[in-house]
């Protein structure tokens, strides 16, 4: 559940979600659920030439299983905190 609660803390921030079909969508993180399904608002597609149909989209729901990467705002990440939390959870503590 670590990444779920971690992403919940990022709600309202600007992220870029890269899908397994190479589509990258930038937008404001609106919500995330336990399956890491992601809702974005004020979206824009990074590579607009490749996906012209996404131009018209301003908000979207992305299935968690098709997400490859989520690019986070640099100041939205407390690296030390995340590192510690990951270790704790990995060791079952």
The contacts of residue 54 (CB under 8 Å, 6+ apart) are 23, 25, 43, 45, 48
**Least distance between other proteins and beta carbon 60 (Å):** 4
Interface with other proteins, residue 62, by CB under 8 A: yes
CA distance 93 to 29: 29
Give the range of 8-16, 61-69, 73-81 binding other proteins by CB under 8 A: 61-69
Asked if 29 contacts 11 with a C-beta cutoff of 8 angstroms, the reply is yes
Site string for other proteins, 5-44 (x = CB under 8 A): --------------x-x-x---------x-x-x-x---x-
- Give the length of the chain: 93
Interface with other proteins, residue 66, by CB under 8 A: yes
């Amino acid at each position: 559940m670590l990444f779920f609660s971690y992403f919940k803390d990022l709600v309202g921030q600007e992220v870029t979600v890269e899908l397994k079909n190479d589509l990258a969508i930038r937008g404001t993180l609106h919500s995330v659920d336990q399956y890491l399904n992601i809702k974005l608002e004020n979206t824009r597609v990074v590579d607009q030439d490749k996906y012209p149909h996404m131009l018209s989209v301003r908000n979207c729901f992305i299935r968690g299983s098709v997400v490859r990467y989520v690019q986070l705002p640099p100041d939205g990440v407390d690296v030390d905190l995340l590192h510690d939390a990951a270790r704790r959870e990995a060791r079952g503590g």
